[in-house]
């Protein structure tokens, strides 16, 4: 197992390098002159040139990338134009809030999705199965920003059950978590049902039942573990979608996380900050995918991901 983890860590290195190249290219792929965009269209040439000099945009690309990587290895992501604070400090102040929102939403998605998927598979083609899959279809079809607005209107404002915005108390976290985790729960429920139905029909499951094992043991000990591999794949993808979904959810619920920070940075044309946030999001997703691959090996020792 240790050898597998070390090999997977080594394989992650070129992926991380590719991510840094793409994020570095962000500054040069935008239309027009980045320095002119940051300074504004009416800015004098001297101010634009000062920004170019400060950001090193006058250097050749390979020199710029070398400086970018050198600073990155030292934990330096540059300086925010808007606040004049280091980008690392700006991200540190918001990162944990966003990760809390994503983790809690993912936990809700997995909890509801697994239960609904298992029940649907065990009671396949029943009224309960049809009802759960219809609910899952609705959950999959609803945009999280629309659901968030509906929750604020009916649950927070009309019923006054929880606060309509903010983050910090468990009451404030309920609506954002529901709004962000609903679509993921629907996807996981449908995938769990499909995967469980494939496993339940296998010969070794029929053998386990023929031996007189309790249905609960057959389902949870023999069927579920082998059905989890495709579900774990979906969970890994969903975490990436949740991280991107926090951008809208944090804006709707006025949460001071990285999603709202990147919106503010884009509005103020703070490209060093945008660049740093995109890099952190991308690296987080790379780490999550590595953990997903490791979990494959835990679920099935025969799996060997090259």
**All residues at 6 or more sequence positions from 295 whose CB lies less than 8 Å from its CB, including other chains:** 232
pTM of the model: 0.82
Mean pLDDT of 124-139: 88
**All residues at 6 or more sequence positions from 82 whose CB lies less than 8 Å from its CB, including other chains:** 264, 265, 268, 270, 273
Residue 170 confidence (pLDDT) above 70? yes
Helices 87-122/224-252 angle, 10° precision: 130
Q: How far apart are CA 165 and CA 250, in angstroms?
A: 9
Q: What's the pLDDT at 285? A: 85
Residue 71 confidence (pLDDT) above 70? yes
- Residue-wise pLDDT for 194-226, tens only, equals 888 888 877 777 787 787 778 778 877 777 777
Q: What's the pLDDT at 303? A: 57
Residue 304 confidence (pLDDT) above 60? no
Show the domains of the chain with their CATH numbers: 2-73 (no CATH), 97-299 (1.10.3720.10)
Q: How far apart are CA 94 and CA 258, in angstroms?
A: 5
Name residue 86's beta-bridge partners: 79
Confidence of residue 152 (pLDDT cuts 50, 70, 90): very high
Name residue 79's beta-bridge partners: 86
Q: Residue 143's CB: how many other CB atoms inside 10 A? A: 12
Tokens of 141: 């079809």
């Amino acid at each position: 197992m240790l050898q597998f983890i070390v090999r997977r860590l080594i394989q992650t290195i070129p992926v991380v390098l590719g991510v840094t190249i793409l994020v570095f290219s962000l500054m040069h792929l935008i239309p027009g002159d980045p320095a002119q965009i940051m300074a504004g269209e009416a800015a004098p040439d001297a101010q634009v040139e000062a920004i170019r000099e400060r950001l090193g945009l006058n250097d050749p690309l390979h020199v710029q990338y070398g400086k970018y990587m050198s600073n990155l290895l030292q934990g330096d992501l540059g300086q925010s134009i808007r606040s004049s604070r280091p980008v690392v400090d700006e991200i540190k102040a918001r990162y944990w809030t966003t990760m809390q929102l994503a983790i809690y939403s993912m936990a809700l998605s997995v909890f509801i999705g697994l239960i609904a998927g298992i029940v649907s598979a065990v009671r396949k083609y029943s009224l309960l199965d049809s009802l759960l899959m219809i609910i899952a279809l609705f959950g999959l079809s609803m945009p999280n920003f629309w659901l968030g607005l509906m929750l604020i209107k009916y649950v927070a404002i009309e019923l006054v059950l929880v606060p309509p915005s903010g983050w910090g108390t468990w009451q404030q976290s309920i609506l954002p978590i529901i709004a962000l985790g609903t679509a993921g729960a629907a996807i996981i429920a449908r995938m769990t049902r499909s995967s469980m139905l494939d496993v339940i029909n296998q010969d070794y499951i029929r053998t386990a039942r023929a031996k007189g094992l309790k249905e609960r043991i057959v389902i949870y000990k023999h069927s579920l573990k082998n059905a989890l591999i495709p579900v774990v794949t979906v969970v890994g993808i969903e975490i990436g979608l949740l991280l991107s979904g926090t951008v809208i959810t944090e804006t709707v619920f006025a949460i001071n996380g990285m999603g709202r920070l990147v919106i503010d940075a884009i509005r103020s044309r703070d490209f060093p900050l945008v660049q740093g946030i995109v890099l952190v999001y991308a690296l987080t997703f790379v780490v999550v995918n590595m953990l997903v691959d490791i979990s494959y090996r835990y679920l099935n020792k025969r799996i060997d991901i090259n």
